[in-house]
Amino acid sequence: MSAVDMIRYLNYLRVERNFSRHTLRAYANDIGQFCDYLENGATALRRTDEEARSPASLDVLKRAGKRDVRAFLAHAQTAGCSPRTAARKLAALRSAYAFFMREKSVAVNPTQGIRSPRLSKNLPDVLSIPEVTALLEAPDTSTPLGRRDRAALEVLYSCGLRAAELAGLRMGDVFYDQQTVRALGKRAKERMVPIGSYAIEALRSYLQVRRDLGCPEHDLIFVNHRGGPLTTRSVQRIVERYVREVLPTRREVSPHTLRHTFATHILDAGADLRVVQEMLGHESLSSTQIYTHVSIERLRQVYRDAHPHA
């Protein structure tokens, strides 16, 4: 496709589908890789985004058949792509072909009938209550940055927010009297989430010293040491820093680990699965059901540890 074709397609994803910038970039890269693979073969998937690559071409997409799509996905996994990444590449191609079919730019959709790669259902890693307590209490709250970090960790765990949702929180998104937070999730979907008293107390404490971190000219709650907006990567660094300090044996603990921990702990305490689905902002209940497997595995471990004949 020409640059104009690609811009039109990406604008459709951005405006009508509310795709994030990250997803737009990934889809554009996937479609470009597919066209490059059809033109240049196996070398295409070894190129980086910065290297020269055959431009995505509508003419190339028109020539592609089901065998080409299957060969591309198979080669992607052979070249080291995970099944999840290969599934995303297929989703990008499906979306592009569906768009250009509607515009009558292509006559055949070669992605129809092709199954997505089977994804392994790895159970998410979660922290125990003592571990999450140690993590939340790790920041030095005698400093403005320490108060910010404590508030960020408390809100992540209390509300089950994604890192991007935390970074995007604005002053008007926290309703202290109602003990709720308005989160802007994927595809700009809003949801209301309860927030606990510990997180509210940490937030109020941080907001008392927020202006000490520069003079923010915006209403985003969480700021960096210069008063600028906190990025998703910065949220990840905050979590990683305190994990190294108080949970040195833990590996790959991220903001999403706190989200997993939030869901698992409230399910363990008897929360309804659909309530958890709503709080997490999952479109499908199947996305939430993985936490029931985590809880069952915990029960099995307790049984094995406690029962004399286990």
pLDDT at 52 over 50: no
Question: Would you call 265 a catalytic residue per the annotation?
Answer: no
Q: Is residue 59 part of a domain?
A: yes
Using the predicted structure, report yes or no on whether residue 287 has a pLDDT greater than 60. yes
Q: Average of pLDDT values for 201-226? A: 92
Annotated catalytic residue 189: no
Q: Does 231 lie in the same domain as 137? A: yes
Domain assignment present for 32: yes
- One domain for residues 91 and 160: no
Residues 44 and 138 in one domain: no
Residue 96 shares a structural domain with residue 135: no
Decide if 259 is catalytic: yes
Annotated active-site residue 256? The verdict is yes
Average pLDDT over residues 16-34: 87
CATH number at residue 49: 1.10.150
Q: Is the model's pLDDT at 3 over the cut of 70?
A: no
Is residue 257 domain-shared with residue 134, that is, in the same domain?
yes
Residues 44, 146 within the same domain: no
pLDDT digits (tens, 9 = 90+) for 99-138: 999 988 888 899 998 988 876 666 668 899 999 999 999 9
Kindly state whether residues 17 and 65 are assigned to the same domain.
yes
Mean pLDDT of 252-262: 91
Asked if the structure places residue 111 within a domain, the reply is: no
Q: Which domain holds residue 54?
A: 3-102
Exactly one of 147, 162, 210, 260 is catalytic; name it: 162
Same-domain pairing of 97 and 133: no
Work out the pLDDT band at 150, boundaries 50, 70, 90.
Answer: very high
- Domain count of the fold of the chain: 2
What is the arithmetic mean of pLDDT over 89-107?
91
pTM of the model: 0.66
Residue 109 domain-assigned?
A: no
Q: What is the pLDDT of residue 267?
A: 83
pLDDT band at 309 (very low <50, low <70, confident <90, very high): low
Task: Label residue 105 exposed, middle or buried (CB < 10 Å: 0-12, 13-18, 19+).
Answer: middle
Q: Are 68 and 178 in a shared domain? A: no
- Inside any domain, residue 90: yes
Q: Which residue has the higher pLDDT, 160 or 41?
A: 160
Q: Answer yes or no: 14 catalytic.
A: no
Residue of 148, 259, 260, 265 marked catalytic: 259
Q: Find the catalytic residue in 53, 150, 265, 282.
A: 282
Query: Mean pLDDT, the chain, as a whole number?
Result: 85
Does the annotation mark 12 as catalytic?
Answer: no
Do 93 and 155 lie in one domain? The reply is no
96 and 140 share one domain: no
pLDDT of residue 216: 79
Does 296 lie in the same domain as 151?
yes
